[in-house]
Amino acid sequence: MRSFIVGDVHGCLDELDELVATLDARAEDRFLFLGDYVDRGPDSVGVVRRVRELMARFPASAAIAGNHEDKALRDRARRRPGPAWTARASDDDWRFLESLPLLLRLPEHGALLVHGGLYPRFFDLYESIGEVPADWRVGGGKRGERLRRFLRVRTVSGQGAFVALGDEAADSRHWSSVYDGREGFCFFGHDPQLAPPEPLRAAHALGLDTGCCFGGRLSAAVLEEEQRVAPKALRALRVVSVPARAQYAEPRAALVE
């Protein structure tokens, strides 16, 4: 079984189909999606349904939540109007979005998947991620609140604390540059890499959002069966990508979440 770990799709259905065709999956392979299926691109509902189809066709597949799914679910819970695609999502689509986990561990690869990332301050408080409560979206108290930051983190302070978008200071840096690998090698999305549209490589993490919706590329890391992802083996990590067919959103939008 090979694993294809796919970065932020954001409604780019044509590019997802092209990437899937390029990867030429066998029945025993699996797709692992890093979240942010919706918004920005031309066909959010189409992507949600394609992800669901791929999970049915390749039963070992899985998908985690991104902050865009999280926002849509919160808006819906509060009966606030959402973007246009939300009116076309079916009950099954919503149930799928609600079911997405915060993270996925891949012990066989020494890795885990999380949409935004892991910030050091969390581990000052809890040492390890431990159990994620089933109601992680809304519950879990203060710890749940801190877990939910894994959906959104890009930069951290000099002390390793989560820094909200727009609050960056001179000593802020990308979380992946200070992550020590304690929870395993981390595959993440969320932070579009556009200049150039190449994965963000750190010692213990790989960022696979290569900004497809902004006219960049849609990327997937390819893990062979039993391939352990260790810092020394990083160069052996294969990434396959396809170019965006258009620029669907302004890169500026990346800075307003």
Which residues of the chain form contacts with Mn ion (CB under 5 A)?
36, 66-67, 190
Residue nearest to Mn ion (CB): 190
Do the Cβ atoms of 36 and 214 come closer than 8 Å? no
Shortest Cβ 146–Mn ion spacing (Å) = 18
Shortest Cβ 10–Mn ion spacing (Å) = 8
Distance CA 255, CA 191 (A): 10
Which are the contacts of 125, defined by CB distance < 8 A and separation ≥ 6? 146
Cβ proximity to Mn ion: between 190 and 204 the closer is 190
Shortest Cβ 72–Mn ion spacing (Å) = 12
> Sheet harboring 205-207: ordered strands across?
103-106, 111-114, 185-188, 205-207, 200-202
Shortest Cβ 118–Mn ion spacing (Å) = 15
Cβ proximity to Mn ion: between 39 and 58 the closer is 39
- The residue among 157, 164, 173, 155 whose CA lies nearest residue 124 is 157
- Strand 217-223 versus strand 3-6 pairing type: antiparallel
Shortest Cβ 29–Mn ion spacing (Å) = 25
- The residue among 209, 210, 201, 207 whose CA lies nearest residue 187 is 207
Cβ proximity to Mn ion: between 124 and 145 the closer is 145
Cβ proximity to Mn ion: between 44 and 67 the closer is 67
Cβ proximity to Mn ion: between 66 and 184 the closer is 66
